[in-house]
Amino acid sequence: MGSSPYDPKLKNACGIPQLLSTDSFKGKKVVIFGVPGAFTPTCNNNHLPEYHQKYQDLAKKGIDQVVCISTADAFVMDAWGKWTNVSDKVIMAADGNGDFVKATGLDQDLTKAGMGAVRSKRFAMVVDDMKVKYIGVESKPGVSVSGAGAVLAKL
């Protein structure tokens, strides 16, 4: 991990997308979880809400930041975060071109599902001072190894 062209973007208070540098994770323990699409049923109803609900439990286990990443643009991720009312508990990060997920091998082609050629796999990773300590990638629909409960069990 580190500052690179693969760093995701998020919106600042002025509504202008800004870089979320992975350099900001130095010295921190961070959970990054990836979803195939904002507002999609499993992502919206299960994956994101569980991280929001279990944020305090994650913080008690030493997690400094929780980041949700998707191959949507920064404006969509901002709107999704506002709509789900995750406030500052979950950073809503956009990987619009799929650079981060492609660089980490966490991309998938969902053309057959009508969602596009570059989408994020459903995953979660725990990054401790820039080192990946856990990664759970879903092999079938649903949230099991990438959910907040699975991450908590690994901390």
What domain count does the chain have?
1
Residue 116 has pLDDT above 80, yes or no: no
Rounded to the nearest angstrom, the gap between the alpha carbon of residue 124 and the centroid of all alpha carbons in its chain is 7
In a domain, 14, yes or no: no
The answer to the question of residue 145 being in a domain is: yes
Whether 94 maps to a domain, the answer reads yes
- The predicted pLDDT at position 2 comes to 45
Active site (catalytic) residues = 43
The per-residue pLDDT for range 38-77, each reduced to its tens digit, is 888 787 778 899 999 999 999 999 999 999 999 988 888 8
- pLDDT category at 21 given cuts 50, 70, 90 is confident
Encode pLDDT of 67-104 as tens digits: 999 998 888 888 888 888 887 889 999 888 888 899 89
Range of the domain at 95: 29-154
Q: Which residue has the tokens 């323990």?
A: 29
Indicate which CATH number applies to the domain containing 119: 3.40.30.10
pLDDT band, very low/low/confident/very high, at 18 (cuts 50, 70, 90): low
**Token couple for 92:** 């809503």
In this structure, the strands spanning 29-35 and 65-70 are parallel
**What is the pTM (predicted TM-score) of this model?**
0.84
Q: Which two tokens stand for residue 87?
A: 């406030």
Give Dmax (Cα) for the chain.
41
Look at residue 23 and tell me if it is in a domain: no
